[in-house]
Each structure stands twice: as structure tokens, then as C-alpha cells.
Amino acid sequence: MSSKGVLIMFLCFIVVVTCLSVKSEAQLQVGFYGSTCRDAELIVYQEVRKGFLNNKGIAAGLLRLHFHDCFVRGCDGSVLIDSTSDNVAEKDSPANNPSLRGFDIIDNAKARLESVCKGVVSCADIVAFAARDSVVLTRGIGYKVPAGRRDGRVSLVLDTPTNLPFPTSNLDALTKLFKSKGLTQEEMITLSGSHTIGRSHCTAFSKRLYNFSSTTPQDPSLDPAYAAILKKQCPPGNNPDLVVQMNPSSPNTFDSGYYTDILKSRGLLTSDQTLNSTANTANQVKCNAFEPYQWKRKFAAAMVKMGKLDVLTGTAGEIRLKCRVPN
């Protein structure tokens, strides 16, 4: 191995050790339901697995559901609440509708849990468990999920624009947003790897294909051969129903193909390819691409950290009886 390769491996190792040193907040505990609803995590896993066997794409949907829940008002299950006649909820934001999926899986898990442990397991914890299970089912690394979150009662569409990244976000915008949530740039790059599974609507990146700028119709940072393929899948017109795989070579496998694509200028979204825009972040992309196991370990640690964002615990919030409606 070249000296450069050895250096990359060493730097990757240092980052992994740092990330894995993160400890859970005291108010969240691994095995939180051990004495109150012993089979809680098993029941959630069974429902996620059932949904996954029916539609493998649901894993990416559930992972994204957890991310969008935590970044808006904290990990409180507010993304699950339905809109009403006098309130438009988070889930109906353009950032979430129609792209968010997996609500039915959460509903099914909650119904089963209520039948055996009424009023015990929060919707917010179900979402966190389901995200972890989705990683496992797509061949990622399993991790222990500290639980004890309680459910919020508020869900506002106006909270979403400033708290969720856009598919057109550049590196600076992404770094600042994640920093505002207590997450580092390295953790942002690590968590972005969730795009290794799932799909994207053509409308999220069509500007890169047809209307990039007044002088350049096509984004020059996008591989021309890949752009030609995307144009066949996403013709002009911004049809909101058209979707493509985020990582075409292995769309249902939690691997480092996402980072390999970025190195080949095949990151689908602007917010993906921008990770390769500085020497420092490009090195991190290479690290994740060439050391997939270490990236998976970093991802697990970052997910645990993200899952603690602004949680409600103790007597704050409530335990919803139905995830779509506050008690």
C-alpha cells in the first residue's frame, strides 16, 4: 500500500475512534422499555421487516423519517402528526410531501404496541428504532438505540424551511445547518451517506440537467455520461411523479457506493456532489468510500447522537396513543 493510502486509513481510524466515544444523554437509556414493554424493539423490528419484504425502498423512507423528525423541533415524533382544518403540519411541507414514506409502518408498530403495552412506548422512539432496523435490514451495522423520548404535541409546516436541508444546498449551507443542530461537518458527511439507499424525485435535481445557469444548461460538476442517463429517466417538464435511484448500482444495500459515486462526479443531488468541493471534505469522502466498515461505524455513532436532538423526557410531552394525533 502506498504511503498516501496508509495516511488515509490512519486518518479514518482517528475519526472513527472520536465518533464512537460519544455517550448517550443520561435521560435516554438503552433498554429503556426492559421492564415496562420488554418486546417493544422486537415488535418494531417485525413490522419494519414485514414492510421491507413487501417494498425494500421503505427502509430509506424510515431512515429519512427519523432525520426529518429530529431536525424539526427535535426527535419528538412531530413529523407523524396529521394536518387539520386549522393547522398545516410538518408532513405536508414541500420538503416532506410527497417524498416522506413509512408512516403506515409506524402506525402498524404503534397499534401492536398499544395492544400489549398501552400508553408506554412513544412514537418518537418507534421512529428511532425503525431507522436503526432499516439500516440493519439493508446490511448496515446495527447499534443500540437509547430510548425514553416522549412525543411532542406541536407540528407546524412553518418550522420546516429553516430546519431541513435543500437538495440544492451547498457545502457551506449544509455545514451551518448541521452545526446549528450540534453536529460537525464530519458527521454531516457521514450521515449524508444515508443516500446510499432510496430514491429521489426528478424535480429535486432537474435544474442540474436542463437549467443550471444562463450560460451553462447542464451542471459541469455532473458526469456527462451520467447526465445523459438521467435525462432519459427525467425528461423536461418536472413531472412530480418521476423518481430515480440515489445509488443505481446498489439502491437497497447500505454500502459506500454513495461516496464512490461522488468521487466519479455522479452524486445525484447538488447537496451530494458538494461534499467533494474542498480538499478537506473530499478526503473525508475518499475515506468513507475506501473504508466502508469504518464509515458504517461512524454512521451508527452519528445516528445515536442525532437521535438525542432536543428530546422530550421525563414528564415533558406525552405518549401518544395514535402517532398521527396528539392525545
Residue stretches of the annotated binding site for Ca(2+): 69, 72, 74, 76, 78, 90, 196, 255
Tell me the C-alpha to C-alpha distance, in Å, between residue 283 and each of 25, 61, 223.
Answer: 31, 29, 20
Distances, alpha carbon 95 to alpha carbons 52, 65, 82, 258, in Å: 23, 11, 15, 22
Which positions make up the binding site for substrate? 165
- CA–CA dist 20, 5 (Å, integer): 23
Long-range residue pairs from 261-266, CB within 8 A, at least 24 positions apart, any chain? 262/289, 263/289, 264/223, 264/226, 265/221, 265/222, 265/223, 265/226, 266/222, 266/223, 266/226
The Cα–Cα gap between 208 and 28 comes to 42
Q: Which residues contact 251 (CB under 8 A, 6 or more apart)?
A: 57, 197, 198, 199, 245
Tell the residue number behind the cell numbers 468521487, with chain if given.
263
CB 295 within 8 A of CB 256: yes
Question: CB atoms < 10 A from the CB of 171, how many?
Answer: 20
Say if residue 29 is exposed, middle or buried (CB neighbours under 10 Å; 0-12, 13-18, 19+): middle
Distance CA 309, CA 135 (A): 20
* Rounded distance between C-alpha atoms, residue 84 and residue 89, angstroms: 8
Provide the annotated binding site for heme b.
195
Catalytic residue IDs: 68
E strands in 37-173: none
Q: Could you tell me the three cell numbers for 258?
A: 454513495
C-beta separation of 162 from 93 below 8 A? no
Please state the residue numbers annotated as binding site: 69, 72, 74, 76, 78, 90, 165, 195-196, 255
Name beta bridge partners: 87: 84
